[in-house]
Structure 1
């Protein structure tokens, strides 16, 4: 594509940023519309597997951080523990681990010069190098309400939720040449683009408690099984799974002694139960559907109950991690199946829109592939907009990846939470 387009990206988290940056560098004008009312998204406090697609994206677009060693820690072994904390299986398994915060900071730095610790800047305020010749605007506090086909353009309508916005000007709209939907698995734009019958996000029957602990805080026995390792426990009474691995800290530091141990604990709970309602109700009494946010919003009595449950059901090393976590959060595990055919992946609105990342297909975290999917979409869109790939080839690749990984995640989750894992003890 030789013409420089005016592109709107709905969603300013990882999928939106990873997709926007290559297109900006091709010379296009990119406007991200992000619903959060604050200029920088809150750190999700979550570890991320840096898969091949993510590392390839960083190598191409990560500015000063362009290798796996710049953004991630190499966990060199995979361990499985029994209930007493004994190692029952050990495998050599090199896996790069990073964090949501590291990737988000890289994305904001590369997109518009904004860094979490230094405020917000716009890349249009400074001279752009040849490889960064497009324009970038990150418009936060913009909740998209509707999209309409306007012939050669797409009209995007939104409400303004930014602090300081004039109430008399609470509605807004923009026209663009091309629309990218990247606002996650709960997006309502998917239904607008694909119709009422398209799949929507559904609960899988279990949640993930998540948290981090500074790597120097656990006992020597716990550090021995967690530092620079990918460690699992699969329990059968009740069915449960917990895992942990080492990641950079919130500032992206890879220095020993300052890194974090990130843990994820899968726990079965009925969606209509009182337990689920309590889990998803924060300290202010607000009820959430799928995610209780980070930052210490879990009700104290709920967390105390879960810590006591951990002492009964988990190996002592994992129970120690749970006990020493100050600000846990909870995510409901959900499914979002990919569209019914490859023709619903791209070239929507008569060739003026595409769906990317978790908005296209929501994977269970067992696959460790959500960020990889976003990076894959970004790299392939770069090829399409550069004229090195056809839309038909793009749709084939994206659709096949989404189908295979989404189904694989369901199989892994079903075995872990409702079946029998071969290393369950």
Structure 2
């Protein structure tokens, strides 16, 4: 381990966390061979219309590593709390930066493997970047760890064939249900928290003036027993950030007892398939969505009820908890976890993407130090201590916020 030379690095998971790391490693300019393995069978992941709060580390990442110089965020200037009638009962002047999953993903692909899109154009190559390959349609099935030999990653491809890849270092950036984590430490379990997040977007120009007053470039919330809903402005199609081209993104937390009839109906799609974590856009049964829109009219402030009613393609994510006791895994500590694979934060923290950016930047720095000859065990130990501290605090804070929101009494309940 002390003599580890991580020249070939495989990253499992091709969403934001894996791409953060891939881009940061590439821009070390140490002639590394970097391969991302993504299980999705298409060359690009599909946008789910998800808004993201761009925290400090996300902003720092793109300032340091985005060579496309793409505008990434809409600034929110105020936090507002509404009562049931839609009146503002509290406000706080606070700037926060709001972006979207699809914009970050395409900007990262432009920087990592040169994918041009209407979001961003790929920058010109630099010297000593090494290789950066995004392999899609690869489901990891096993990892061989054999002393000083390279790690061997076995995958099943989308067409049913098999493939193997060797690596000096393997990084699991494959989300809260991480396959890599399960292979190394199956004792870590992801658990349902007792509620889900309904999500959707609406063009900012489509809503009434009363709704625009509380939604556009603001961050409004409404709390009642067992319910929280919030909204904010995010970039529009293809990353548009000009006023009039953006979207209003909403998130509505609703309690469902696990395996209750309501929960089973909610997570069963139009084709009759039961989902356990995410019900994708277009999958929600019509009767379930009609019922939810009726609930919005009956229980939410009118501005939020309007936003829900105007949404054409909602989706649902179950809120879950998971955290690994370690970020450095395996008998010889050459398997690592970052982002959601290390700790899945509840979305109330608005920090999951920030965690991935922080972990990735710190790991790229650690790899650079190891390549320069520093002791690998010592360097990775320092990295692990840093990311675990952030993971534990973020996970603890998310549980606290979620329990108060959904099962307690919020101080600004409307």
Assess same fold via TM > 0.5. Answer: yes
1:186 to 172, 177, 184: 177
Count how many residue pairs are aligned between Structure 1 and Structure 2: 402
Name the structure 2 match of 1:243. Answer: 230
Does the 8 A contact of 2:192 with 2:321 survive in 1?
yes
Aligned ranges 1:20-419 → 2 under 5 Å: 20-26=22-28, 27-65=31-69, 70-117=71-118, 128-130=125-127, 133-151=129-147, 152-161=149-158, 165=159, 167=160, 170-194=161-185, 196-197=186-187, 199-236=188-225, 239-294=226-281, 296-339=282-325, 344-346=326-328, 348-387=330-369, 390-419=379-408
Cα distance in 1, alignment partners of residues 354 and 124 from structure 2:
31
Cα distance in 2, alignment partners of residues 414 and 147 from structure 1:
37
Q: Which runs of 5+ in 1 are unaligned?
A: none
Cα distance in 2, alignment partners of residues 158 and 4 from structure 1:
21
The TM-score normalised by the length of structure 1 is 0.91
Cα distance in 2, alignment partners of residues 159 and 2 from structure 1:
28
Q: CA deviation at 1:402?
A: 0.5
Does the 8 A contact of 2:68 with 2:110 survive in 1?
no
Does the 8 A contact of 1:10 with 1:182 survive in 2?
yes
Instruction: Give the direction of change, closer, same or farther, for the CA distance of 1:92–1:148 in structure 2 (3 Å limit).
Output: same
Please provide the CA RMSD for this pair.
Answer: 2.0
Instruction: Give the direction of change, closer, same or farther, for the CA distance of 1:117–1:287 in structure 2 (3 Å limit).
Output: farther
Cα distance in 1, alignment partners of residues 269 and 117 from structure 2:
25
Cα distance in 1, alignment partners of residues 329 and 296 from structure 2:
48
Instruction: Give the direction of change, closer, same or farther, for the CA distance of 1:113–1:282 in structure 2 (3 Å limit).
Output: same
Cα distance in 2, alignment partners of residues 254 and 88 from structure 1:
29
**After the TM superposition, which segments of 4 or more aligned residues of structure 1 sit over 4 Å from their partners?**
1-4, 116-119
Cα distance in 2, alignment partners of residues 4 and 373 from structure 1:
23
Instruction: Give the direction of change, closer, same or farther, for the CA distance of 1:289–1:116 in structure 2 (3 Å limit).
Output: farther
Instruction: Give the direction of change, closer, same or farther, for the CA distance of 1:225–1:146 in structure 2 (3 Å limit).
Output: same
Q: CA deviation at 1:76?
A: 0.1
Secondary structure at the residue paired with 1:378?
Answer: helix
Cα distance in 2, alignment partners of residues 395 and 145 from structure 1:
25
Cα distance in 1, alignment partners of residues 59 and 262 from structure 2:
39
Cα distance in 2, alignment partners of residues 349 and 108 from structure 1:
33
Secondary structure at the residue paired with 1:158?
Answer: strand
Q: CA deviation at 1:392?
A: 2.3
The TM-score normalised by the length of structure 2 is 0.93
Could you give the per-residue CA deviations for residues 317-376 of structure 1, whole angstroms, max 9, x where no partner exists?
A: 00000000000000000001231xxxx212644132211110000000000010000000
Does the 8 A contact of 2:6 with 2:367 survive in 1?
no
Q: CA deviation at 1:413?
A: 0.3
Bigger Cα displacement from structure 2, 275-284 vs 110-119: 110-119
